[in-house]
């Protein structure tokens, strides 16, 4: 059993509302052997569309969404499909090379896709928690990140309607992770130095295997 899975079970024990579906913030990766080959093929095809570490777009601050038109809703739909195929629970537009302040997520399977345009964290709790996170843009990397447990986020939906979200636990974590992407921030920037070092090594090795 991986550490990440243990982490998930601990989380599940303390927060039963968050059905323990997901191993780490963006992706499920270590249990590939148990996945249907078709699911793996679909996942790999989806991941090919996700910008990876080293791509300068991941370090670029995204611009506000100004037009809430059919093109934007299309973008939301495409991001949702890509996220599902990639077995992720969150995706920022930055990760598909679109510098829009737009993110999608779904932390409970079967729940409708949540889309947040122009999200702003209006309040976050003093209480913080450390948990392991993965990222579709950082293959093989899992690092611990400390984040506020509760956040209140103002945003707009894909029609431009204002929304206010009070999120805790995994949902709060995913929103913060994706919002970081919109500012060009990666989990590597938020983890202790020793973990960052081994993550960088893992990324280099991954690149050598996937030239």
- Note the residues at the interface with Zn ion (CB under 5 A): 26, 135
Smaller CB separation from Zn ion, 68 or 99: 99
User: CB of residue 126 vs Zn ion: minimum separation in angstroms?
Assistant: 25
User: CB of residue 67 vs Zn ion: minimum separation in angstroms?
Assistant: 25
User: CB of residue 41 vs Zn ion: minimum separation in angstroms?
Assistant: 22
CB 125 within 8 A of CB 151: yes
Burial class (CB in 10 A: 0-12, 13-18, 19+), 111: exposed
Q: Is 4 helix (H, G, I), strand (E, B) or coil?
A: helix
The residue annotated as part of the active site, out of 23, 26, 27, 178, is 178
Name the residue number minimizing CB distance to Zn ion. Answer: 135
Smaller CB separation from Zn ion, 8 or 181: 181
Using CA atoms, how far residue 86 sits from 43, 50, 118, in Å, is 4, 9, 24
User: CB of residue 20 vs Zn ion: minimum separation in angstroms?
Assistant: 20
Query: What tokens appear for 97 in the block?
Result: 């090379």
Which of 186, 134, 104, 169 shows the shortest CA–CA distance to 29? Answer: 134
User: CB of residue 100 vs Zn ion: minimum separation in angstroms?
Assistant: 16
SS in 3 state form for 140-207?
CCEEEEEEECEEEEEEECCCCCEEEEEEEHHHHHHHHHHHHHHCCCCHHHHCCHHHHHHHHHHHHHHH
Q: Is 105 helix (H, G, I), strand (E, B) or coil?
A: strand
Smaller CB separation from Zn ion, 68 or 200: 200
Smaller CB separation from Zn ion, 26 or 84: 26
Using CA atoms, how far residue 30 sits from 36, 145, 178, 210, in Å, is 14, 19, 21, 18
Smaller CB separation from Zn ion, 18 or 180: 180
User: Is 122 an active-site residue?
Assistant: no
Give the active site residues: 178
């Amino acid at each position: 059993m991986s550490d990440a899975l243990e982490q998930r079970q601990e989380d599940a024990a303390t927060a039963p509302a968050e059905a323990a579906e997901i191993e780490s913030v963006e992706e499920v990766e270590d249990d590939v052997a148990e996945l249907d080959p078709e699911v793996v093929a679909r996942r790999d095809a989806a991941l090919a569309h996700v910008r990876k570490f080293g791509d300068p777009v991941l370090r670029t601050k995204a611009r506000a969404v100004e037009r809430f038109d059919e093109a934007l809703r299309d973008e939301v739909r495409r991001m949702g499909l890509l996220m599902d195929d990639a077995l992720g629970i969150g995706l920022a537009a930055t990760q598909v090379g679109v510098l829009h302040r737009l993110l999608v997520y779904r932390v409970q399977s079967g729940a409708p896709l949540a889309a947040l345009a122009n999200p702003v964290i209006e309040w976050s709790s003093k209480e913080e928690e450390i948990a392991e996170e993965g990222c579709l843009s950082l293959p093989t990397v899992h690092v611990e990140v400390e984040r506020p447990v509760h956040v209140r986020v103002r945003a707009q939906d894909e029609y431009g309607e204002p929304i206010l979200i009070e999120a805790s636990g995994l949902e709060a974590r995913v929103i913060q992770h994706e919002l970081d992407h919109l500012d060009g921030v990666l989990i590597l920037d938020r983890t202790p130095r020793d973990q960052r070092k081994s993550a960088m090594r893992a990324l280099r090795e991954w690149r050598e295997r996937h030239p």
